[in-house]
Each structure stands twice: as structure tokens, then as C-alpha cells.
Amino acid sequence: MKCRRCRAPAVIDVRRHNAGFCRDCFLHHCREQVRRTIDDFDMVHPGDRVLVAVSGGKDSLALWDILRDLGYDVDGLYLGLGIGEYSDESGTYARAYADERGAKLVEVDLPTGSRVAHRAPCSACGLSKRHLFNQAAVDGGYDVVATGHNLDDEAAVLFGNVLRWSTEYLGRQLPVLPAGNGFVRKVKPLVRLGEREAAGYCVLAGIDYQVEECPMAAGNRHLGYKEALNAIEEQSPGSKHAFYFGFLEKASPLFTPEAASGQEQLQQCAQCGTPTPGEVCAFCRLVERARR
Ligand code: Q46
Ligand code: ZN
């Protein structure tokens, strides 16, 4: 197969685009996909300071690298989740990337006593991540938090939300959530790239990343949805893209009013000031429970 752009021998193919690419053109292709996503959804404004949430995995490191290449003012944020060896290793990859390239990595640890590994499930972890990402962005004076969710991730989340008709989640499943109410803007510039493309980007760009998945993910629902979608994609390349982007274009506006009304009834958490529907936010309650 030949590179679609320069006709040199291809080193990677992207079935969804029915195209092969040489190394340089593939890296260019990935950057272009991200550039387009940022433009189309108006994700980053001139002068914005961007904080990218880095896990040490392929997606977040690829995203950090691409944003730097595209010239954004971007630093990394690593959250020590305290999930044993997995976290230690992930941190090593994130730090190595920053050190080798002279990039700035902000590090935050989950408060002692609330280590998610012991509290178990992903809901506690996800909750903590959302809270701490935002807190770190506010503290550091950043305008935007960027996460490395890729097309496979978003299509799988959408699949789960549709299966259950979780309408409030559907209303908030957008590649950009505006700032407001004490939250900085949240963006997902990688939604036009699949998981395999993110991995390919890292390999071809010479970025070492944590290949292991988080041990907590094994057997969870989200992975099941990914497998189901992979089987569909195999039969009909482009299905994930059509599913996710079709949703954004045709269905998502139907669900936004419901999500927006949930947002209006927020007050400040009595302990940390984060916007919350209750008196104390879910994160502070989690930390408290874990301390006991
Ligand atoms: S939520 Fe769950 Fe992830 Fe947290 S415990 Fe691991 S798998 S890291 S994206
Ligand atoms: Zn090429």
C-alpha cells in the first residue's frame, strides 16, 4: 500500500478513511484531525492556557504532543491515583515525556486516605479525576482542561448511554463543555482519532507510553461496549464515526435542555466551593467516607 498523501510506501492503514500513510504523513494526518476538531468545536481561544490531563497512556501523551506541535500554550497534569504498580508506572511515562521534551508537568496526588484502589470502583475514581482536574486548572490559572478521550471511548460511552436512555448524560456528552459555575472549559480534541491511531501516533512519534490498561477496567461494562462496537466496525468501517458524529449533529441538541436544567440548580460545596446540587459535593463526601 502507498501513502495517500505522498505515494511513499505506507507504514499504517486507517480503514475508516480507506487510506494508508507513511510515517510523516500519518503524524500530519493526526495533527490535522485534532486541528480540525479544535476549530470545528471552537475548543481553544487565542491566548488560552491549556492543561492536558495526562495518564501516561497513549491517548493523553499523543494529545499533549499534538497540542504542543500545533503551538498551543499547554502544560500536562498528572494525577497520582494510587492504584498500585499501575499508577507508579504511569507516572514514570508521564514524567519521562515531560523531561525529555522540556515540557511542564503539574502533579497532584489524591488526598491520602481516599485512595481509589481501596474504595474500588471507577465511579469514585472518575469523580475524583473530574474534581481534581478542575481544581488544578483553577488553581493554576488555566482556561481549558483537555482530556485524551478518543473516538472509541466516546462511541462506547454513547452506546452505553443510549442503551439505557440516560438522557441527562446524553445531554452532556459533548466534545466541549463551556466554562461556568466554577468549572473551566473542558474539551476532548482527540474525538476524531481512533484508539489505534492514537497508539500508532505514539509509536511513530517515538513516544513511550504505558501499554497496560488500568487493572480496574478489566471486565467493566465500558470495555464490553468497546468490543461490541469493534465487531460492528470490523464489518462496516466508519460505523463508530457515523454513530458518534451523527449523534452530535442530529440528536444531541434534543437532550441539552434537560442537562442544562440540572446545571442551574447548583450551589457551592460548603467544604471546597465546587458547584454541587447538594450542600457538600460528591468528592468531599467521598474523601470523608474514605477517611473514616
Ligand atoms: S476510572 Fe476505573 Fe479508569 Fe479510574 S479505576 Fe482505572 S479504569 S483509571 S479511565
Ligand atoms: Zn506520506
- Ligand 1 centroid to residue 115 C-alpha, Å: 12
pLDDT confidence tier of residue 62, bands split at 50, 70 and 90? very high
What mean pLDDT comes out for the span 214-237? 92
Domain residue spans of the chain: 41-251
| Structural fold of domain 41-251 | Rossmann fold (3.40.50)
Ligand 1 pocket: which of 110, 116, 150 to mutate (most atoms within 8 A of CB): 116
- Cβ burial of 193 (10 Å; 0-12, 13-18, 19+) is buried
**β partners of residue 13:** 20
| Residue 109 phi, psi (nearest 5) | -105, 145
C-alpha–C-alpha distance, residues 82 and 132, integer Å: 14
- Ligand 1 centroid to residue 25 C-alpha, Å: 33
| Contacts (Cβ under 8 Å, ≥6 apart) of 110 | 79, 80, 81, 82, 116, 128, 132
Q: Which residue has the higher pLDDT, 111 or 58?
A: 58
Using only C-alpha atoms, the chain has a radius of gyration, in whole angstroms, of: 19
CB of 216 shorter than 6 A to ligand 1: yes
Render pLDDT for 17-41 as a digit per residue (tens, 0 to 9). Answer: 999 999 999 999 999 999 999 999 9
